Structure 1
Amino acid sequence: MVSKPHGGRLVRRVAAEKTRERILSEQHEFPKVQIRHGLAIDLENIAHGVYSPLTGFLRSDEFQSVLDHMRLSNDIPWSIPIVLDVDEPNFEEGDAILLYYENTPIARMHVDEIYTYDKKEFAQKVFKTTDEAHPGVAKVYSMAKYLVGGEIELLNEVPNPFEKYTLRPVETRVLFKERGWKTIVAFQTRNVPHLGHEYVQKAALTFVDGLFINPVLGKKKKGDYKDEVIIKAYETLFEHYYPKNAATLATVRYEMRYAGPREAIHHAIMRKNFGATHFIVGRDHAGVGDYYGPYEAWDLFDEFPDLGITPMFIREAFHCRRCGGMVNAKICPHDEEFHIRISGTKLRRMITSGEKPPEYMMRPEVYEVIRSFEKPFVE
């Protein structure tokens, strides 16, 4: 069976059309708060159930419970605080406010609570460090003084250049049912596929009905593959190397926190809400720098027997010259001298210089897709 939504119910917090029209016609009557892009995307993910069971931004008791126990105050697993930060508020508890992104009203929010928080505690508990070189920590330290908790109603979507590739949890659940998939493994990615990715995906697909590739689109750093390159590369891989009706692709907009093990739990919950029954947890999942051990995320899943989605721990793949193909450390008996590891950095360097990667690293069709873009990388 397709997994039940986290918390048992798929949240939908999108204002009905008549309500939306009335709110927008009265928008000048509400206190107005401008929010950044990442918060606008969090709003959409709350409204469309990607963050079920959340119906809004966390109140103080929920926020503290997530920091201390990685659970909501009702004991449902939840590992990443989803919070709205504001400077000196121009509203009070009990008010309804409008949240704006780039001067467009995105959502109405019912303010249950306005509270302060300790940024160092936030950083230490979520990221296991207070080092400002960590991008997640730096983000927390740049946040405003107050947090606001309460339920939201979505009024408008943030413009989405990849609308045709975007499916909401209610839609993926219908898709999986139509395909007759009862067990679905989800794979999160921010890269074009190489042979290591394909090995891991197909190893997982061996045990389930369908594979759900769910690329994260959004803010990228210099040198990353552009969103459209990732999408086209996967479409090509599906066309040439996956059985029909074995895999599907849909994107999700989400701002990475780089919280390592905690974020791996969060990513699994998101895919559970899309309907996945299994989730591939990668090496150094959602990590950055040397802040987390390569398989530290695997251990954290042991603390959540009630997560409701099965993690799949598949070790990093490499090419072994003796085995003559892609393997991993669990199945290959040969010494390191025979192993060729696939480095994303090395692949990007080769592609940038016009050098075609060997076929044991990347499918030639995928390479040709990347080459077809004049500028495949974020500059």
Structure 2
Amino acid sequence: MIAPHGGRLVSRFSTGSLDGMEAIEVSNDLRNDIENIADGIFSPLEGFVGRDDFESIVKRGRLKSGLAWTVPIVLDVDEKTASMAKNAGQVALAVAGEKFASLKIDEVYSFDKLESAKAIYGTGDTKHPGVSKMVNMKDRLLAGKIQVSKKIADGPLRKYRMTPAQTRAEIEKRGWKTVVGFQTRNVPHVAHEMLQKAALNLYDGLFVNPLIGKKKQGDFKDEVILAAYETLIENYYPKNRAMFVTLHTEMRYAGPKEAIHHAIMRKNFGCTHFIVGRDHAGVGDYYHPFAAHEIFAHYPELEIQPVFFPAFYYCKKCLSFANERNCPHGPESREELSGTKMRKMVSSGEIPAPHLMRPEIAKLIVSFKEPFVP
């Protein structure tokens, strides 16, 4: 089986007490990523990155060791909290007063928010959701290893969550030698299904791994994505060839840099291959459509293999889904599909035709009073 990123699957759990520790409040979104560190989804990270790693990620898209890593995982705090943490040496992390993890402080440092955002997102435009978040971060970053004492409670959105140790055990049990991962933040349309099934013709197993977490306004809500994929896999996929596992983190909309980050996480889950879509993790017009394909040329050592499919479309002459490699007809015969198009259709009250979206999924989506992130 493919080795975890960095060669070792990280586990950062502890039964130690958090009583008496000063606490720093974090968001639920960051708590998800802290658990992702503890579970090994972010292997080889064992905590929040220090200054040398942060600057290396920003400048080179790698940790200071040279290992590929493109998205810094950080904890930002104000000056007062930074001073308290530094003096304490170790602090608890809490959500709404509930302590769930500890952080051993190795370093406190500052960073240039705008220049860092430009390097990661390829733009300094604050209309970009990732840039906006970074320039509005607090002034100091805390670095150090974490230990999680209390996991996030199970709930409807987490019933398909698995750790890398669990997914690797399941892949081994199924005897899959090749596993192709699929990242999505959208409900599935038929072009997605055709792409995934094209991959199933080449690899032993399909690892469907939708992102459940913070997204921008206008994206589909998590519960809609989850229900839609449940329906698709139940009705249209062979049970012994597909795994459905949710990934709990936030969308960063970092385009090519995030494509590498997505691939690394799927490598840790045990995937040998990873489908990289057109405008992968993009937003607006900040990245050209195949920027996320081109960046993999700079990471030849990544081990997990990117899979680049040409864009699928519905050909009105072929009467089937096709791509430029196997269809001779011009743009006038093509009906393009995209997450953006599906969102526009649903928001306008239009039910996508059966050749664009499975009827069960279309009906499911319109049954939600508010299917989109407000």
TM range (shorter): over 0.9
Which residue of the other structure, out of 121, 129, 133, is the alignment partner of 2:127?
Answer: 133
In the alignment, is residue 115 of structure 1 matched against residue 106 of structure 2?
A: no
Which residue of the other structure, out of 28, 45, 68, is the alignment partner of 2:36?
Answer: 45
Which residue of the other structure, out of 68, 77, 81, is the alignment partner of 2:72?
Answer: 81
Give the counterpart letter for 1:62 in structure 2: D
Structure 2 residue aligned with 1:56: 47
Q: Deviations over 1:14-68 (max 9, x none)?
A: 11x3x2xxx23xx22x232111223212111100000000001001111111111
Cα distance in 1 for partners of 2:129, 2:217 equals 14
Q: Deviations over 1:289-338 (max 9, x none)?
A: 11111001111100111111000011221001122211112222211111
CA contact (8 A) 2:91 2:103 kept: yes
Give the counterpart letter for 1:111 in structure 2: I
1:250 to partner: Cα distance: 0.9
Instruction: Report 1:1-379 matches (<5 A).
Output: 2-15=1-14, 17=15, 19=16, 23-24=17-18, 27-28=19-20, 30-88=21-79, 89=82, 90-92=84-86, 95-161=89-155, 162-352=157-347, 354-379=349-374
CA contact (8 A) 1:107 1:154 kept: yes
Corresponding residue SS for 2:91: strand
1:374 to partner: Cα distance: 4.1
Residue segments in structure 2 that go unaligned for 5+ positions in a row: none
1:73 to partner: Cα distance: 1.4
Corresponding residue SS for 2:195: helix
Q: Deviations over 1:260-287 (max 9, x none)?
A: 1001000000000011010000111111
1:160 to partner: Cα distance: 4.6
C-alpha spacing 1:300/1:58, structure 2 compared with 1 (3 Å): same
Q: Deviations over 1:153-205 (max 9, x none)?
A: 01223345323211111111111111111110010111111011111111112
Corresponding pairs, count: 370
Cα distance in 2 for partners of 1:48, 1:244 equals 26
Give the counterpart letter for 1:177 in structure 2: E
Give the counterpart letter for 1:147 in structure 2: L
214-223 or 174-183: bigger deviation: 214-223
C-alpha spacing 1:93/1:296, structure 2 compared with 1 (3 Å): farther
CA contact (8 A) 1:57 1:151 kept: yes
TM-score, normalised on structure 1?
A: 0.93
Percent identity among equivalent residues? 49
CA contact (8 A) 2:276 2:308 kept: yes
Cα distance in 2 for partners of 1:62, 1:140 equals 17
1:94 to partner: Cα distance: 7.6
CA contact (8 A) 1:93 1:112 kept: no
1:361 to partner: Cα distance: 0.4
Residue segments in structure 1 that go unaligned for 5+ positions in a row: none
CA contact (8 A) 1:93 1:114 kept: no
Cα distance in 2 for partners of 1:369, 1:307 equals 38
Cα distance in 1 for partners of 2:339, 2:6 equals 37
Cα distance in 1 for partners of 2:218, 2:119 equals 30
Corresponding residue SS for 2:313: strand
C-alpha spacing 1:367/1:262, structure 2 compared with 1 (3 Å): same
Corresponding residue SS for 2:159: helix
Corresponding residue SS for 2:85: coil
C-alpha spacing 1:93/1:295, structure 2 compared with 1 (3 Å): farther
Give the counterpart letter for 1:150 in structure 2: G
Corresponding residue SS for 2:64: coil
